[in-house]
Structure 1
Amino acid sequence: MELNHKSLGQGEPLIVLHGLFGTLDNWQTLAKSWAEHYLVYLVDLRNHGRSPHVDGLSYPAMAQDLHDFMELNWIHKAHVLGHSMGGKVAMEFALTYPDMVDKLIVVDIAPRAYAPGHDEIFTALFAIDLNTLESRQAAEAVLEQYIPEWGVRQFLLKNLSRIKEGGFEWKMNLPIIYRDYAQILAPPSEADPFEGPALFIRGEQSRYVRDEDILHIQELFPRSTLQTVPNASHWVHAEQPELLNGMVMEFLEKG
């Protein structure tokens, strides 16, 4: 399986992985900045964006996808950055294939199981009848009944794609994401610690990475540091892109 991707810039490879319901486009602005120094690969994970729709959505499977992607593109070793679900994929990959990871960056997620928290989003998405949908505005009107946050609605609507013959379809594989949602909430696989440099970044207003997670992070990633982005929730890259950019660049430039 070949993952959909875009590449920008030149230099050492930096692979960027989006979160649940996301696509590679979510990170384009920051990628353009990083591309001044690195060869940046923006990747659509399986069942997301324009990557293949396949049966199954687990972290071992997504780590294997990334391994295959690197081999297909002759990338022997790379810096790997992931946000939320993509952060868990990045952790799984580093723990499973440590020799293929130079530096690891995990944005606003910890290596633990999470409680369900996307029920309203699933309900809203399934409430949109693609067979009768006539416009993006009509889709947003449906979402608005369930999701008050304008930014979240716009984020989700990036998954809506117009069909040439008329009508709309989801870029993401919504039925499989819903069926395997428990796998997304699960922690990365148990493995030997990743001994390479790792940076964990959390939003100050987010509850995804708690102080009590730090010990387990350090057990699995003994050379890790944790930085907190002020005035940011889970969507660190959207709310504080310049601060996040500075933290990432400082970490990558360190010898």
Structure 2
Amino acid sequence: MGRSSGVSSGASGGVSRVVEVSGIRLVYDVWGEPQAPPLVLLHALGEDARDWARTAEALAEQWRVYAVDLRGHGRSDWPGDYSLELMRDDLVGFLDALGLERVDLIGHSMGGIVAYLFAQEHPDRVGRLVLEDVPVPLPREAVPPNRPEGELGFDWDMVVAVRKQIDSPDPQWWDRLGRITAPTLAVAGGSTSHIPHERITEWPRRLPDARVVTIPAGHLIHAVEPDAFTEVVQTFLRTPPREERHPH
């Protein structure tokens, strides 16, 4: 278990707080009423929780929204030890520290991988899952990342470690996709995204309850088309479970 404490005002009306999980400080922003149903947002590689500010503010009208700086990113600790599995385990500790037993989960790109790894290992803790421009875990051609000039808002060692896993996913990730029981929405960015469309349309073939919506905005869907992204997400999150839609 970790411990949570207040920090400061966050982005666009959110409140920034910190939680300690297994010796790692994770900073997160939170919006919405405490009694509202919980929704957790996980950012892409090289981003942080503040990337979600506009989306979170809109979703906070109905949900209690939590956006986390994953390890090696932004205001959270940069411990030097990185993997997508460690980020998944950090998410477990984060939810435990806040007393969140079951949440809806949205992940963009790398954050989507963390989200589906969590949903594989803890299917009972995910109500609904949204994967924003996230491909199924198949190998891809590895292009070594080039470090940008100047000071970075993330640990470059983290980028190197995580990119290796994204390029050559653990085969168990694929084998365990069937463990995901949450209704899943895969949002594709269309032809201008670097993610092959066929690797997103594969999700409904691999999961028991999944659908695909395309918003032709490229990889940064929620940033380029925030209103369209928010609308499809809200519609999905409000949709009753399949068993409620088709009573016996």
TM bin (shorter chain): 0.7 to 0.9
Q: Does structure 2 retain, via aligned residues, the 8 Å contact 1:91–1:111?
A: no
Distance 1:251 1:187 in 2: 28
Give the one of 56, 68, 71 matched to 1:46.
Answer: 71
Q: TM-score, normalised by structure 2?
A: 0.78
What residue is the counterpart of 1:8 in the other structure? 31
What residue is the counterpart of 2:183 in the other structure? 197
Question: Does residue 141 of structure 2 align to residue 115 of structure 1?
Answer: yes
Matches within 5 A, 1:1-150: 1-10=24-33, 11-112=36-137, 113-117=139-143, 119=145, 122-123=146-147, 125=148, 127-128=149-150
Q: Does structure 2 retain, via aligned residues, the 8 Å contact 1:14–1:80?
A: yes
Distance 1:195 1:89 in 2: 16
Q: Which has the higher contact order (CA 8 A, sep 6+)?
A: 1
Deviation string 1:93-146 (CA, Å, 9 cap, x unpaired) is: 111111110100000011223333563xx24x2x43xxxxxxxxxxxxxxxxxx
Q: Does structure 1 retain, via aligned residues, the 8 Å contact 2:186–2:200?
A: no
Larger radius of gyration: 1
Give the one of 214, 228, 232 matched to 1:228.
Answer: 214
Q: TM-score, normalised by structure 1?
A: 0.76
Q: Structure 2 stretches of 5 or more lacking a match?
A: 1-23, 241-248
Distance 2:113 2:42 in 1: 10
Question: Does residue 201 of structure 2 align to residue 214 of structure 1?
Answer: yes
Instruction: For residue 196 of structure 1, report the CA deviation from its aligned partner.
Output: 1.6
For the residue of structure 2 that corresponds to 1:4, the secondary structure is strand
Instruction: For residue 179 of structure 1, report the CA deviation from its aligned partner.
Output: 4.3
Larger deviation, residues 47-56 vs 82-91: 47-56
Distance 2:100 2:207 in 1: 23
AA at the equivalent of 1:193: R
AA at the equivalent of 1:208: I
Question: Does residue 235 of structure 2 align to residue 253 of structure 1?
Answer: no
Give the one of 226, 235, 240 matched to 1:241.
Answer: 226
Distance 2:229 2:213 in 1: 10
Give the length in aligned residue pairs. 209
Instruction: For residue 58 of structure 1, report the CA deviation from its aligned partner.
Output: 1.8
